[in-house]
Structure 1
Amino acid sequence: MNAEQLTLLPEINEKEVQQIVIKELKDYRALKIQIENKREREKEGVVSLFPSLLQNNRVNEIKVRQMERALDGSLDFIERQIINQKYLNSQEINDLNIYMDLGIKKGKYYQKKRTALYRIATALGII
C-alpha cells in the first residue's frame, strides 16, 4: 500500500471520539434508570408519575440495548472494570484509585482506558 492510499482514510479526532463516548456512557446510565422506572410503572399499572416532554422511549430502549451489547461484547475484563468504575458508577472515582484498585500500572491503565473507549465507539458505529 502506498502513502496515497493511506490518506484516503478520514482522520479521526481522538479527543472528540473520547468525549462523545464518555457522554454516551453517562447518558446510558440515566437511560437505564429511566427504562427500569418505566417497567416498574407498567408493572404497577401506573401510566405516568412525572410530566414527559419527550417521547423517545423506543429509541432510548434501543440505545440501552446497543450500549449493553457494546460493553458486554467488545471489552475485555480489565477494560470493562475501568469503564464501570470510571463512567458507570454513581460515585466519582479518580483514575489513580481505579488503577490501584485493579492492581495495574498507570501506563497500562491509560492504554486500556483509551482502547476501551475506541472499542465502544467502534461497536456503536461512532467511528
Structure 2
Amino acid sequence: MGAEQLCLMPGIDEKQVLNALIKELKVYRSLKVKEENLKEQKEHEVTGLFPTLRNQEAIYELTLHQIDRALKNSRDELEYNIIEKKYHTSCLVKDLEVCQEIGLKKEEGYEKFPPLFVRN
C-alpha cells in the first residue's frame, strides 16, 4: 500500500501567477497616473475635467494604497526598488535603464528577478 499525500490546496500555476502579477502592476501604474492627474487638478482648482458616470475615486485610492502597502511589506528593498522604478511611473521604462539605476547588469536582473523583468 503506497502512501498518498493529501493536498489542501491545488497546485499553483506559476505562469498564471506571473500573468496576474503583471496585470496588477499595470493597473497599479494606471492608478498612479490617475492619482497624479487628480493632484494636478486640485492644485489648479479644476474639477470635473473628465466626465464620469459614477464616482469610484475612493475605490481607486484604496486599491492604490493597498497594492502599495503590499509591495512595501512583501518585497525586499532591491525588489521594491525595481518595481518602483519600473511601475511607479506614468511612462514605460526600459529594463536596461532600471538595471543601470540600481547597479545590476541586465542579464543579472533577468536571472535574479525574472517576474519583474517580463518583456511586455
TM-score by length of 1: 0.66
Give the equivalent residue in structure 1 for 2:75. 75
Gaps of 5+ in 1: 117-127
Larger Rg over CA atoms: 2
Would you tell me which structure has more helix in proportion to its own residues? 1
Partners of 1:50 and 1:99 in 2: CA distance: 37
Q: Deviations over 1:61-108 (max 9, x none)?
A: 1110101101222111111122223333423313x5544553446356
Larger relative contact order, structure 1 or 2 (CA cutoff 8 Å, min sep 6) = 1
Output the aligned Cα RMSD: 3.0
For 2:111, the equivalent position in structure 1 comes to: 110
Aligned length: 113
- Structure 1 runs (4+) greater than 6 angstroms displaced: none
Percent of matched pairs sharing the same residue? 35
| 2:5 aligned residue | 4
Mapped partners of 1:23, 1:35: distance in 2:
18
TM-score (norm 2): 0.69
| Counterpart-to-counterpart distance in 2, 1:28 and 1:59 | 13
Distance (whole Å) between structure 2 residues aligned to residue 39 and residue 100 of structure 1: 30
